[in-house]
Amino acid sequence: MSIRVENVSKRFGKFQALEPLSLEIPDGQLVGLLGPSGSGKTTLLRIIAGLESADTGRILFHGDDVTGVHVRDRRVGFVFQHYALFRHMTVAENIAFGLEVMPKGQRPNAKEIKKRVHDLLEMVQLGQLANRYPAQLSGGQKQRVALARALAMQPQVLLLDEPFGALDAKVRKDLRRWLRNLHDELHFTSVFVTHDQEEALELSDQVVVMSAGKIEQVDTPQTLYAQPDSRFVLGFLGHINVLQGDVNQGRLSQGNAWITLNDHPNAKQVECYFRPHEVKLQTQPSPTAHLPLKVSAVSLIGAEVRVELEADGWSSPEPWEVGISHAEYNAWQPMRGDRCYAVPEVGHLFSSDKTEPELIQWSQAQQRPVSTARSSVVSLFASA
């Protein structure tokens, strides 16, 4: 069932939780609402469910206006951040609840209900816990019970409010994969709220990035990452390194740092953003970029080594972060206080008059990887 949000806005007292916004969610998609806290993503989800009423605008399910339809009649599955299991009922009773409160005519008979509950428990792999109470379950188990309870009604729309927010990292990963499979199997339309960009990018068909009650960008995870529309989106999807300054004669400079920008008109207050993996570190500046940095921390955990750097002789609002491979790390062995130069391959340029970035690429030929350093291994690596 497709969902259409038209011109919906919401105000809580003096706080404008949602600016008027519209959104189209096609049938069968898994859509992530991503944004920092207070961006209005949960409010939007609750308005779609009918738990909150919008001040203006309409909600359409499959083309039908459901704005005036009560939550209980919208037939959406809703999964709460803190599970909201009925604490005085067993797991099986929790799952059966939605079926048991149906009006007499539609309600399946007791045997049918029992079978459905059994099937759902099998589906969420909790068959042996049917007679436990919520207090006796772990967080991941509770969340699966909550999902089974929502799915008992066979809803065509499943809404999840920060479904994995309260779980530890490993359980979260398992559940994420499991939800993706479930979605592919059952083909309902799902919308989930998250503040974790990794979760949104991994799980969703489409990501809706929100900030301050507005939709910033709606795109597939790939497009969103490759072509962010605004500073906010770029900054929200992972760390960014910033050079702020003025453009003069094809050069963006600040202090002793500069990068070349071919044929760019002179301008004030220009910002260039670099992603950690779009920057190389060298011991010598390149002809296109002169960005002196000082190593302030090195983190070895993960697929690549994360080097944190301070601007040396200029200023940056936040420390720079650059990812280098473990091989590069072993060759270079950076230590705290070491000086080096950043050489960007790709930059996202924001002029003050435009909100959309301009993509800038520098040719690879002029660059040399981190090399002239301490051991002979380096030269081997550099030529490789």
Partner 1 sequence: MVDKGLTLKGLTIKDLTMRTSAHLRIGDQPWVKWSLITLALSLVTLLLLVPLFAIFAQAFSGGLESYIANVTDRFTLHAIGLTLFVAALTVPINLVFGVFLAWLVTRFEFPGRKLLITLIDIPFAVSPVVAGLLYLLLYGSNGWIGSRLMDHDIQLMFSWPGILMVTVFVTCPFVARELIPLMQQQGKEEEEAGVTLGASGWQLFRRITLPNIQWALIYGVVLTNARAVGEFGAVSVVSGNIRGETNTLPLHVELLYQDYNVVGAFASSSLLAGIALLTLFVKSFVEWRQARQRQALNEEEI
Q: How far is the CB of 55 from partner 1 (least distance, A)?
A: 15
The sign one gets for the Cα dihedral 337, 341, 343, 348 is: positive
Q: Taking the complex as a whole, how short is the minimal distance between the CB of residue 366 and partner 1, in angstroms?
A: 59
150 forms part of the interface with partner 1 (CB under 8 A): yes
Other Cβ atoms less than 10 A from the Cβ of 262: the count is 9
**Site for partner 1 contains 186 (CB under 8 A):** no
Cα angle 237-242-246, degrees, rounded to a multiple of 5: 140
3-state secondary structure of 208: strand
Residue ranges of E strands in 303-352: 305-311, 320-324, 339-344, 346-350
d(CA 197, CA 199): 5
352 pairs with which residues across the strands?
A: none
- Binding of partner 1 by 76 (CB under 8 A): yes
Q: Which residues pair with 323 in a beta bridge?
A: 306
Please choose, out of 37-45, 58-66, 83-91, 167-175, the segment that lies near partner 1 by the rule CB under 8 A.
83-91
One residue of 29, 67, 80, 173 binding partner 1 per CB under 8 A: 80
Q: How far is the CB of 39 from partner 1 (least distance, A)?
A: 21
Residues 107-146 that bind partner 1 (CB under 8 A): 134-135, 146
Backbone angles phi, psi at 366, to 5 degrees: -80, -5
Q: How far is the CB of 159 from partner 1 (least distance, A)?
A: 9
Q: Does 149 bind partner 1 (CB under 8 A)?
A: yes
Neighbours of 327 (CB within 10 A): 12
**Residue 101 in the binding site for partner 1 (CB under 8 A):** yes
Which position among 60, 69, 130, 153 is part of the footprint of partner 1 (CB under 8 A)?
Answer: 153
Could you tell me the two tokens for 203? Answer: 């799980």
Is residue 77 a contact point for partner 1 (CB under 8 A)? yes
Q: Whose Cβ is closer to partner 1: residue 96's or residue 201's?
A: 96
Give the total of residues touching partner 1 (CB under 8 A). Answer: 28
Q: Are strands 251-254 and 241-248 parallel, antiparallel or unpaired?
A: antiparallel
By CB under 8 A, the residues from 218 to 257 that bind partner 1 are none
Paired tokens of 150: 């929502």
Q: Which residues bind partner 1 (CB under 8 A)?
A: 49, 51, 71-78, 80, 82, 84-88, 97-98, 101-102, 134-135, 146, 149-150, 152-153
